[in-house]
Structure 1
Amino acid sequence: MHNPSAHVESSKKLQNIFCITAAHTRPHQAGGTRKHMGLDIVCTDGDTVLAPFHVKINGPASPYTTGVNAAINDGLNLSGQGLCFKLFYVKPVETSGTVEQGQELGTMLPMQEVYPGITSHVHVQMCNKSDPTKYF
């Protein structure tokens, strides 16, 4: 479901995290009692995910603590412009080093294989688990 209030604003630091085919962001509709700790960027499985600005890759990041959902249990821990954040559901090109704005970070993983019918998305989570919405 598209949320007009979640559109990217030009003054926000993370505005340029995007998949090549992504057009908007949306809040996640977490089921049950689980609190959603981030923001989802709508993508298509297999999309190229690009850096929002010059970032340092601080290593891999996994959305799941166990071996469940192995097909999509991947991501990156990134920092730059005073922010520390994680991108989940991305197969990284590299897990260390630096990447310039607009360069490829990785590829959107196959969410449809694990959760058929879900809106495929890259999940953005701040390292301190604060709300990332203000950066969009």
Structure 2
Amino acid sequence: MHFSAMKTLPPQARVALGLAVLFAPMAGLAMESPHVDMSARPAVQKLLDRIEADEPKPVRMETVWKGADVDGDGAADFANPTGAAPREHDDFGDGAFGARRDGGSRRHEGVDYTAVAGQAAKAPISGYVTKIGYAYADSTDLRFVEITNPALGYVARAFYVDPSVEVGQTIHLGQTIGHVASLQKHYPGITNHVHLEVMKPGGRRINAAALIQPKLVAAA
């Protein structure tokens, strides 16, 4: 069989056929002599290497976060502030938008993106810093950064961020705005995260997860 025809066979069949062809002459020798000539080994290895090279290599996939293009200019207008998935259920509840809080008396107004304390927090939208405030009225160690984009009509607040920006500063999408604070003092055992709230004019909260979605792509 010509080698080009062998390439149409399944890999296992090609290996079996190749070995049979190479070792068939040696089968008779083995009956007459205890010493079999193994000079064909390099040819066998060459065949196996060629078959392996023909096999498709596994593709490693990775998750990237794609922000929505709300103004239609072909570029993303939103970004994941931590680059990680939303917080799943833990002892303090779920991190999804609208999740139950306080026994169902209120709903979660943002999306919690998991993080490692101390990592960089990225700007979820472009605009300028309109406020740096405290996450809780009775605590000064947990803060949020508010960014307003007048052109888009959106406001975003990234909570539990130690800010490295100032009010009035112009911010670009994905720019570092501070570092993620640890929540363990207030909520021991909780998954550290950035709580992201996205608002339309008038203060109506919308689901950030609908604007920042995961996509599987082949790793570079």
- TM-score, structure 2 as length reference: 0.49
Identity of aligned residues (%): 23
Point out the structure with the larger helix share.
2
Higher normalized contact order (CA 8 Å, seq sep 6+, divided by chain length): 1
Aligned Cα root-mean-square deviation (Å): 2.4
1:112 touches 1:118 (CA, 8 Å); kept in 2? yes
Please tell me the residue identity of whatever aligns with 1:110: S
| Residue aligning to 1:4 | none
Q: Within the alignment, does 1:32 sit opposite 2:126 as a pair?
A: no
SS in structure 2 at match of 1:124? strand
* Cα shift at 1:8: 7.0
1:45 touches 1:112 (CA, 8 Å); kept in 2? no
Aligned residue pairs, count: 124
Unaligned 5+ segments in structure 2 are: 1-62, 69-76, 88-93, 213-220
Q: 1:11 to 1:111 in 2, by over 3 A?
A: closer
Within 5 A, what are the aligned runs for 1:30-69? 30-33=101-104, 34-64=106-136, 66-68=137-139
Within 5 A, what are the aligned runs for 1:71-110? 71-72=141-142, 74-80=143-149, 82=152, 83-96=154-167, 97-110=169-182
Q: 1:18 to 1:75 in 2, by over 3 A?
A: same
Alpha-carbon distance between aligned partners in 2 of 1:90 and 1:11, rounded to the nearest angstrom: 21
Q: 1:123 to 1:10 in 2, by over 3 A?
A: same
- TM-score, structure 1 as length reference: 0.76
| Residue aligning to 1:134 | 210
Please tell me the residue identity of whatever aligns with 1:87: A
* Cα shift at 1:79: 1.6
Please tell me the residue identity of whatever aligns with 2:172: E
SS in structure 2 at match of 1:18? coil
Q: 1:11 to 1:108 in 2, by over 3 A?
A: closer
| Larger radius of gyration between Structure 1 and Structure 2 | 2
Deviations 1:30-84 (A, max 9, x none): 34233111111111111111123432111213322x214x332x01111225111
1:61 touches 1:86 (CA, 8 Å); kept in 2? no
SS in structure 2 at match of 1:60? strand
Runs (4 or more) in structure 1 with deviation over 3 Å come to none
Unaligned 5+ segments in structure 1 are: 1-6
1:57 touches 1:79 (CA, 8 Å); kept in 2? yes
Please tell me the residue identity of whatever aligns with 2:206: D
